[in-house]
Amino acid sequence: MTSNFLLDGEEVPFEPGQSVVQAALAAGRYIPHLCYHPEFKPHGSCKVCTVRVNGRTATACTLPAQTGLEVASVTEEINGLRHTLVQMLFAEGNHFCPSCEKSGNCMLQALGYDLGVMTAGFRHYFPDRPVDASHPDILLDFNRCILCELCVRASSEVDGKSVFALSGRGLDKHLIVNSESGRLEHTDIALTDKAMEVCPVGVILKKRVGFAVPIGQRRYDVQPISAQALADAPRGSQAKHPCKSCEESP
């Protein structure tokens, strides 16, 4: 017998161990998200995938799918919350899309389009986080970091190097490099590392390859983030939740 929960009034099947966002994506239903990545244990840091579940709010990436859940995602209230969260991310960092080589391949930018974010809506913070160009092949622009921690987890869990970490709290929280000098050139990062692939914005960049894909042919030029997320979603057993504790949940 197939297990299901309700998403905006429609049944969504799920496998044991899947989260709500995983089950939704596998079933062809898009829930906006930013820091979620199918290869890592989710922690709900960005809150963009927030939904209302049985009268309370929860992050869909961390909520285990269960029979009896009534999940509301497409509502004026929830989309308004997501809209504001994305506005805050644009205002907090230095996201100048026309001059950024990640434009067209940036999840934050694509999500902004998807949610109808045309202005930051808040006074820009303009953080002063120096660019690290010390490495011969890699550039770090800390000013664009959205604190998703994907590079931190990729470097630690996949690459086994722990090149990146987050330091500080509140407005002082920022990405750092784990070397005595604090410079990327003094780490053992490599272009083939998983940490090089997972940044959803334009923080970790390969040098000498910028703007290689023409406007109109870039990832989110071809199709919106909602369609791209569904195309990329793991199906079947591949979509199981990476968190062991969630797999053991009833």
Q: Give 161-170 pLDDT, tens digit per residue.
A: 999 999 999 8
What are the pLDDT digits (tens) for 88-142?
999 999 999 999 999 999 999 999 999 999 888 899 988 888 899 999 999 999 9
Confidence at 197, pLDDT banded by 50, 70, 90: very high
Q: Which domains does the chain have, with CATH numbers?
A: 81-210 (3.30.70.20)
Distance CA 250, CA 246 (A): 9
What pLDDT, on a 0 to 100 scale, did the predictor assign at position 129?
A: 86
What pLDDT, on a 0 to 100 scale, did the predictor assign at position 170?
A: 85
- Per-residue DSSP letters for 6-57? EETTEEEEE-TT-BHHHHHHHTT-----SS--TTS-----S-TTEEEETTEE
Please state, rounded to an integer, the average pLDDT across all residues of the chain.
91
Tell whether the model's pLDDT for residue 175 goes beyond 90: yes
Tell whether the model's pLDDT for residue 243 goes beyond 70: no
Distance CA 133, CA 86 (A): 28
What pLDDT, on a 0 to 100 scale, did the predictor assign at position 171?
A: 80
- Count of beta carbons in the 10 Å neighbourhood of residue 1: 4
Evaluated on CA atoms 147, 154, 48, 138, the torsion sign reads positive
Tell whether the model's pLDDT for residue 237 goes beyond 60: no
Sequence-ordered list of residues with C-beta below 8 angstroms from that of 228, at least 6 positions apart, any chain: 110, 219, 220
